[in-house]
Amino acid sequence: MGATFLVCHGAWSAGWAWKKMHPLMTAAGHRLVTPSYTGLGERAHLANPSIDLETHIQDILNVIKYEDLRDIVLIGHSYGGMVATGVADRARDQVNQLIYLDAFVPEEGQCLLDFLNAFERQRMLQLAKSGDGWRVPPNPTPPDTPPADVEWLAPRRVDMPLKCFERPLKLHGGELTLPRSYIYATRVSPVDAFGPFAARARSDSNWRYFEIDASHSPHVTAPEALMALLEKVVAERG
């Protein structure tokens, strides 16, 4: 019996970015569910200034409810770590493990901007202000992204509502106790926003820690390696 993987995708991205993983998951006997948040991907026409982290948590909770998902392996990639933490908090009976893929790991009351250095934080705020006040344009793709992938990604990545980065996480059920794993992509950017989370997971016996030789979006640049690693994470848990 395969696992059900549910993805909380990263910023500026959407479910479409996990396209390469679907055939690999199917071949391995698993189910991969990759919904898009409100205002992103095929739901970009719904973008508006009021969308925030809470909106995206509700998006995923509704997928769990209406698709009647059970025994979920929840993956949070990048910004999706913020979303996945909120989802795992409120769907404790449905989520059996949580995998952070080069992702932010927030605690109660923290927002994504809290994890950026002062320069990066100001840069994002200025980008939003220089437009219509609430949209943050995409960060560049990692330099090792193949040209064909850049051509596929670039026209599909859209601006993020600023409130997604400003809204603090609210935990309803206290600290998470479910099994958690961290996958650190070792081809880091100069900013290396995820190094501190990786270091914490590596030194904490409550976490399982893994590394992948890839840049920030292995589902795009290293799908086979990511599939093999996700199989390992799930098998060891079993």
* Residues classed as catalytic: 78
Within a 10 A sphere around the Cβ of 143, how many other Cβ atoms? Answer: 9
Closest-CA residue to 181 (of 162, 200, 164):
200
Longest Cα pair distance anywhere in the chain, in angstroms? 51
- CA geometry: angle 15, 174, 165, nearest 5 deg: 40
Closest-CA residue to 176 (of 234, 108, 109):
108
Closest-CA residue to 176 (of 76, 36, 55):
76
Closest-CA residue to 116 (of 99, 126, 104):
104
Contact (CB, 8 A) for 9 and 37:
yes
